[in-house]
Structure 1
Amino acid sequence: SSKTTSDDFSESSSESEEDEELTERRTETNSDLPSEYWQIQKLVKYMKWGNQTATVIVLCALRDFNLAQETCSKSTKNKEAVRRAGAIPLLARLLKSPHENMLIPVVATLQECASEPSYRVAIQTEGMIEDLVKNLSRENQELQMHCASAIFKCAQDKRTRDLVQQYGGLEPLVSLLSHSENKQLLAASTGAIWKCSLSMENVAKFEEYNTLEILVKLLTNQPEEVLVNVAGALGEFARKPANRVTINNCGGIPPLVNLLTGTNQALLVNVTCALGACASESKCMGTIDSLDGVRLLWSLLKNPNPDVQASAAWAICPCIENAKDAGEMVRSFVGGLELIVNLLKSSHLEVLTSVCAAIGNIAKDKENLAIITDHRVVPMLAKLTHTNDDTLRRYLAGAVEHCCTWGTNCAMFGEEGAVAPLVRYLKSTDPAVHQATALALYQLSKDPNNCINMYENGVVKPLVDMMGSTDEVLQEAAARCVRNIRLLALANEKARYG
């Protein structure tokens, strides 16, 4: 055998020594790459130029490497090269094979490549979703795992989610949850269920299979990879009020609150989203509060990850809205109000948006509004008013509206230059921005200087138009703002002409 190896490789080693020297130089200049990378380079070179026996030996040698490592052929470039070479239609054809030993590497390749958007589109358009769903019902757990994993990656797209339901894939995914001993299969199936539950019509189907109760049982004694997916799915299920009650009744709130003390960033994001959705239900909120869950959510505002900060701030909003004594609860968090106001310095758009939403709720309590005013919430909000993002505009305007009701805040917003940018919000095409802005402008119009500023920036015409809106809240806010501007004008005329 060793003689054959030597002879076979000698045929392919007639390349110039300059080639070897070039490889050595590359090694020196790319010292950050591991030695395995260069060893694979050599082996591939032999495979290119060697005969069949050399190729087989090289392939055997390659199996000794950890090919799941990025530097060792799990490469984005390779995935793209495979796609360009026309592999996708060939894989689609092989996916119809009845032979499991053929299907496993085919589906494994697809699920690995499905991390790339171009593959996800191709898997859908080449009609592979039907075959992936069909193979979920086979007895081979490795094959089931790869199929579920491919669906997990592809189901971010609504069309794919619809196809999974159309081909009857939801029930087989739920049945895979019974294999709790196979953690890879469990991670893949819970991931697929999470992404499929992004569509509320799929959630309705999942409810028929008692999926929610099964998922709640998976909130303990599972790997983090599984927990991330389970929490993500529960967050989607909890968008329906009835499911929030079910989560609470099944004992799902305590394990979710317990997970708030972890460090996995993706898990924290999903858990906070799930708890935030549940907090909209008063009974769930009572359970969260009794477990000190709101304090734990608040502490996540100190997390260095902006995604965690944002999801925690969003979760805090319904907690404040539904707590029995929200004002006192918020004040009980030492340094909590200063912490949330300081997040207005963030450069992360979603953090700013969620914090503005939270501040709008906090400011409904006069004592807390006084405290955040002392922490300079007014100039910090005013500084953000130049944003062009409509979602931030909506929640920022809401925060301005509620903060205007304390002391000299209304006049201070004008002094800090917040009025003119807010008037420009009325040009937005988003009705929610119109309503929030009109409410803020009405509060600001209680200060004479703000009225003058609004009038000079052309606020009257858009507000008059909005007085004819079908949105009664917008109608009334626009009318009251115009009334305040008009009353000021009449007072000035009376003072001038007597």
Structure 2
Amino acid sequence: ITPLVALLGSSDSGVQQQAARTLLGLAAKNPANQVAIAKAGGIHALITLLDSSNASVLQQAIGALLSLAANGDVHATITKAGGIPLLVKLLESSHGDVQRQAAGVLLSLAAKNADTQLAITRAGGIPPLVRLLDSLDTGVQKWAAGALQNLAVNAANQVTVTQAGAIPPLVRLLHSPDTGVQQQAAGVLRNLAGNASNRVAIAQAGGIPSLVLLLGGSHAGVQQQVIGVLWNLAVDAANQVAIIQAGCIPLLVKLWGSPNLHVRQWAEGLLWNLASSTDDLRNQTAIIRAGGISNVVNLLDSSEDPAVQEAAAGLLLCLAVNAGNQVTIVQAGGVRPLVKLLSSADTGVQKCAAGALQNLAANIDNQFAIIHAGSIPELVRLLYSSDVEVQKRAAGTLKNLAVDAEYQVAIAHAGGIRPLVRLLESSDIGVQQQVTGALWNLAVHAVNEIAIVQSGGIPPLVRLLCSPDVHVQQRAAGTLWNLAANSDNEVAITQAGGVHRLIELLGSSDAGVQQQAAGALLSLA
């Protein structure tokens, strides 16, 4: 290697060309040789040849640098040797091979290296890379787009790339017959879409229909990048509408069956985002019409991947806000797999499954199916979770189920009262709301009244009468009203200071709080 590096300095262009060609061959996919060439001073010598007037020498030299740049350990050497300005200059070459290889070296250098990204930008690299997007050579297009994709990870570069006019040619490249070009173009747009102004510009350039069209292809790499762009674009409500109108939903639902895990996860995540939009129910309607619910339920039944399970349960959680969807989910067999997911070791899965069941249990007709799928013991177990959101959603599901006398007994028999009482001490308002609601419903049953008091429920309920949240106040007062039906409890409530605080609540501006406080005081009188 050392003699070959020395020959790069020969005054004979033929010798230089052959030495560079041999080094290129040695460096190709051989990390050890790449490091050895760098240590022997090969990078400095090759960079010197980037100024050669001999086209053959130049092509071999830049080809060798392209192979060397595959090794991240030599990037700093290329940069320190002054390679970046020369590489940027070569982007303007009249030779397509030189343009392609120069863009390829810059692509490698810009990968996950903020300093190099900045150096390429300062050297004026972005405008010529953008111009190369209009090249007739697919290799040049691909490497130029790849370099821009890496550069656009930087927020400042996202603006610079757009100002250089990149978005229209990138959208055009989405229609390239070459899947590599499509993938790289979508990758640039994905990064650019992290900027609010760029999201508008991509939509105005016709990017959304072009992106959605690619979802129907068979190339997983393209699909993954396209979903990533659409995910970022969907941050804006106007873009969500455009994405739906472009026919994205049926294609995303279809991709739930993709053999590629990453494509499935991204498709599920994007559908979840679209379904959780509270501004426009058309998103959910489109998912339903595309057969989304049956696909989600089937996926819950078949997948063992926590990320897939969380996304699927999360989508059902969003859809189950709608009463009509609640019925459809149950009819599609969604309850059993959701209950099964309550026992997952993954907190995100637990959270989404419990949340979906909470929404489904708001419909009395669904409660039988939820109970008989074995949900109560699992929900009670989740009350002991260290995750506040899991606690809240498990308690919320039990609250909804506890409107039925039979289920009130079942929850108590499963040991649900003690952890619910313990959660009255939670500092989270959402947990307090759901727990007081569950105990309010449970305390209708005489046996449960005793269990709540024996578990130490009265003192924390009295304290929650001072909560800043009117829902917590109302539900705590309602629970005490139910407990006060037992004469022994009247004394305990009074001793805990309940009467004084209930009297204070009569002055509340909330009619529900006033009603429950007055009812409790009447029982205590």
Instruction: Select the residue among 155, 162, 169 that pairs with 2:207.
Output: 169
Deviates more, 1:101-110 or 1:309-318: 101-110
1:481 corresponds in structure 2 to 516
1:228 corresponds in structure 2 to 265
Q: Aligned letter for 1:217?
A: K
2:478 corresponds in structure 1 to 442
Note the residue ranges of structure 2 that are not aligned, 5 or more in a row.
Answer: 10-29, 50-60, 74-106, 485-489
TM-score (norm 1): 0.73
Match runs of 1:44-443 below 5 Å: 45-46=39-40, 50-52=44-46, 59=65, 62=68, 78-82=112-116, 87=121, 92-94=126-128, 96-99=130-133, 104-105=142-143, 107-109=145-147, 111-112=149-150, 119=154, 121-123=155-157, 125-126=159-160, 128=162, 131-132=166-167, 134-138=169-173, 139-140=175-176, 141-152=179-190, 161=199, 164-165=202-203, 168-178=206-216, 180-239=217-276, 240-260=280-300, 261-281=302-322, 284-322=325-363, 324=365, 326-334=366-374, 336-410=375-449, 412-413=451-452, 416-418=455-457, 433-443=469-479
Q: Aligned letter for 2:263?
A: V
Q: Is the 8 A contact 2:395 2:435 kept in 1?
A: yes
Instruction: Select the residue among 439, 442, 453 that pairs with 2:496.
Output: 453
How far the C-alpha of 1:406 sits from its partner, in A, is 3.0
Inter-partner Cα distance in structure 2 for 1:320 and 1:380: 20
Q: Is the 8 A contact 1:310 1:354 kept in 2?
A: yes
TM-score (norm 2): 0.69
Q: Which has the larger radius of gyration?
A: 2
Inter-partner Cα distance in structure 1 for 2:376 and 2:444: 18
Q: Is the 8 A contact 1:79 1:113 kept in 2?
A: no
Alpha carbons of structure 1 residues 428 and 64: separation in structure 2 relative to 1, 3 Å: same
Q: Is the 8 A contact 2:477 2:517 kept in 1?
A: no
Q: Is the 8 A contact 1:420 1:457 kept in 2?
A: no
How far the C-alpha of 1:311 sits from its partner, in A, is 1.2
Q: Aligned letter for 2:336?
A: R
- Which secondary structure state, in structure 1, belongs to the residue aligned with residue 291 of structure 2? coil
Residue by residue over 1:205-250, the C-alpha shift from the partner in whole angstroms, topping out at 9 and shown as x without a partner, is 2232222233333333442222222222333333454444443333
Residue by residue over 1:158-178, the C-alpha shift from the partner in whole angstroms, topping out at 9 and shown as x without a partner, is 676555445543223223224
Alpha carbons of structure 1 residues 173 and 393: separation in structure 2 relative to 1, 3 Å: farther
Inter-partner Cα distance in structure 2 for 1:86 and 1:313: 49
Residue by residue over 1:23-59, the C-alpha shift from the partner in whole angstroms, topping out at 9 and shown as x without a partner, is xxxxxxxxxxxxx998876665556985337995974
The size of the alignment, in residue pairs, is 441
- Which secondary structure state, in structure 2, belongs to the residue aligned with residue 383 of structure 1? helix
Q: Aligned letter for 1:478?
A: V
Inter-partner Cα distance in structure 2 for 1:74 and 1:342: 51
Inter-partner Cα distance in structure 1 for 2:108 and 2:344: 32
Inter-partner Cα distance in structure 2 for 1:284 and 1:149: 35
2:58 corresponds in structure 1 to none
Inter-partner Cα distance in structure 2 for 1:53 and 1:123: 26
Alpha carbons of structure 1 residues 125 and 409: separation in structure 2 relative to 1, 3 Å: farther
Alpha carbons of structure 1 residues 78 and 185: separation in structure 2 relative to 1, 3 Å: closer
Q: Aligned letter for 2:242?
A: K
Inter-partner Cα distance in structure 2 for 1:163 and 1:339: 48
Q: Is the 8 A contact 1:107 1:147 kept in 2?
A: yes
Aligned alpha-carbon RMSD (Å): 4.2
- Which secondary structure state, in structure 2, belongs to the residue aligned with residue 136 of structure 1? helix
Note the residue ranges of structure 1 that are not aligned, 5 or more in a row.
Answer: 10-35, 68-72, 469-474, 492-498
Inter-partner Cα distance in structure 2 for 1:403 and 1:114: 56
Q: Is the 8 A contact 2:203 2:239 kept in 1?
A: yes
- Which secondary structure state, in structure 2, belongs to the residue aligned with residue 385 of structure 1? helix
